[in-house]
């Protein structure tokens, strides 16, 4: 039980800290003209709502490889600026994808090795997606809109209907699972891709807009929130798939709203000038 908790939280903290590090040191590729705006928030939310239904409509043999291809591509794009060479980035991304696939086939979908590789893939993808959005100009007001919308969505898809549960069941038994998980016997911790992504976005939106000190507070608040929810899950205090955004959402919205009211939010140019 403790092992599940420690490993899962290690990946969570690695993602949150790694995303900050990426923001501070790597320039993500973005479209040359255009800034993250309402149309992107709308696109994101449409994707979040439509994607589970699209995947559930496909047989597992199609949905899993498709999701895998998407994740591998995102990982390759994320690692490109890190390696300075897209060839190496693709090599590493494909290798990780192949490892996830191979380990799931050979050692099983709940084996520690497969869960670890899957977690690494997911964490890198989250670092990349969050940085592209924030370095393209995502602001506090966009994050608030996303958090509110996802809280509503989580209520519908997780609490009221078993959409999230069905998606986890459909995709979670094999490679490229859309969640970060660790099992110890019958006890495990599962943190969804969407929840971790929103938490990560929160940390770097705050870092870019309001500075490192505010970002550290944001990191501590979401890490604590996720940590408490994971502890409740691993001790079976809360069973099954719970709508994490019920807790994360209000934390993110309240904190971001407080910061945006307190002072002017920096642009990417202003943030880059201070690095």
Partner 1 sequence: MLDVAVAQIRVALSIATGRRLNIRALDRLLDGMLATRFEFGMIGAEGAQALGGPPLDDEVRQKVALRRFRTVARRAADRTRYYSRLFTEQAIDPATMSWDDVRRLPITGRDALREEPDSFVCAGTRPVMRAITTGTTGPPTGVWYSEYELAALTGATTNHVLLRNLIRPDDIVQMCISSRAHLPVITISGTCYRIGAIVQVTGLVDPALALAQLSERRSIPGKRKRVTVLNVYPSYLGELIEHGLRGGYRPTDFDLERILIGGEIVTAGLMRRAERLFGPVEFVENYASTEMVPCGGNPCASGHLHYESSAGLHEVVALDGTGLAADGEPGSLVETPFPPYRETTLLLRYDTEDIVAPLSGPLDCEFRNLPATTHVLGKRRFALRHDDGWVFQRQVMEALEGSEAVPLPARYGNRAASAGVALEVLVRDDDPGVERAVRDQLEAHDVPVKELTLVTDPAQLSAAIPVRSDLRETSFTPAAAPALLASSTGG
Among 3, 86, 111, 136, binds partner 1 (CB under 8 A): 136
Which token pair is 71?
């994740």
Binding mask 91-130 for partner 1 (x = CB under 8 A): ----------------------------------------
User: C-alpha angle with apex 132: 66 to 78, nearest 5 degrees?
Assistant: 60
Binding mask 137-176 for partner 1 (x = CB under 8 A): x---------------------------------------
The reply on whether position 24 binds partner 1 by CB under 8 A is no
- Burial state string for 145-181 with b = 16 or more CB within 10 A and e = fewer than 16: bbbebbbebbeebbeeeebbebbbebbbebbbbbbbb
Return d(Cα 133, Cα 30) in angstroms, integer.
Answer: 8
Among 3, 155, 184, 267, binds partner 1 (CB under 8 A): 267
Smaller CB distance to partner 1: residue 43 or 87?
43
The reply on whether position 37 binds partner 1 by CB under 8 A is yes
Which token pair is 273?
């000038």
Among 10, 35, 60, 224, binds partner 1 (CB under 8 A): 35
For residue 212, the minimal CB distance to partner 1 (Å) is 20
Residues paired with 210 in a beta bridge: none
- Beta strand ranges found along the chain (DSSP E): 179-184, 187-192
For residue 51, the minimal CB distance to partner 1 (Å) is 16
Return d(Cα 94, Cα 101) in angstroms, integer.
Answer: 10
- Note whether 207 and 268 are within 8 A (CB): no
Helix or strand holding residue 197 (H, E): helix 193-210
For residue 183, the minimal CB distance to partner 1 (Å) is 39
Smaller CB distance to partner 1: residue 25 or 169?
25
| Alpha carbon 22 to chain centroid, angstroms | 14
Return d(Cα 134, Cα 132) in angstroms, integer.
Answer: 6
The reply on whether position 191 binds partner 1 by CB under 8 A is no
The piece of 87-95, 196-204, 234-242, 265-273 that touches partner 1 (CB under 8 A) is 265-273
The reply on whether position 39 binds partner 1 by CB under 8 A is yes
Smaller CB distance to partner 1: residue 36 or 182?
36
Which ranges of the chain does DSSP label H, i.e. alpha helix? Answer: 2-25, 38-57, 60-83, 86-106, 112-135, 140-154, 163-172, 193-210, 212-234, 245-262, 268-274
For residue 136, the minimal CB distance to partner 1 (Å) is 6
Smaller CB distance to partner 1: residue 40 or 217?
40
Residues that bind partner 1 (CB under 8 A): 30-37, 39-40, 42-43, 136-137, 267-269, 272-273
């Amino acid at each position: 039980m403790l092992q599940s908790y420690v490993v899962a939280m290690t990946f969570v903290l690695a993602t949150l800290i790694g995303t900050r590090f990426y923001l501070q040191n790597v320039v993500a590729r973005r479209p040359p003209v255009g800034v993250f705006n309402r149309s992107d928030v709308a696109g994101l939310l449409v994707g979040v709502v439509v994607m589970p239904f699209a995947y559930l409509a496909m047989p597992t043999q199609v949905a899993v490889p498709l999701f895998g291809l998407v994740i591998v591509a995102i990982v390759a794009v994320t690692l490109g600026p890190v390696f300075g060479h897209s060839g190496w980035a693709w090599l590493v991304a494909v290798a990780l994808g192949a490892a996830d696939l191979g380990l799931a086939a050979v050692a099983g979908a709940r084996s520690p090795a497969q869960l670890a590789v899957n977690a690494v893939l997911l964490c890198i993808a989250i670092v990349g997606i969050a940085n592209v959005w924030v370095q393209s100009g995502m602001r506090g007001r966009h994050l608030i809109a996303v958090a509110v919308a996802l809280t509503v969505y989580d209520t519908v898809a997780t609490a009221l209907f078993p959409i999230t549960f069905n998606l986890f069941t459909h995709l979670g038994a094999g490679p490229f699972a859309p969640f970060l998980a660790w099992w110890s016997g019958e006890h495990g911790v599962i943190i969804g891709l969407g929840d971790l992504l929103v938490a990560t976005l929160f940390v770097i939106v705050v870092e870019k807009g309001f500075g490192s000190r505010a970002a550290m507070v944001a990191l501590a608040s979401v890490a604590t929130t996720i940590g408490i929810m994971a502890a409740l899950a691993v001790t079976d205090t809360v069973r099954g798939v719970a709508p994490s955004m019920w807790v994360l959402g209000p934390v993110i919205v309240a904190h971001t709203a407080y910061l945006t009211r307190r002072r002017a939010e920096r642009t990417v140019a202003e943030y880059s000038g201070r690095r």
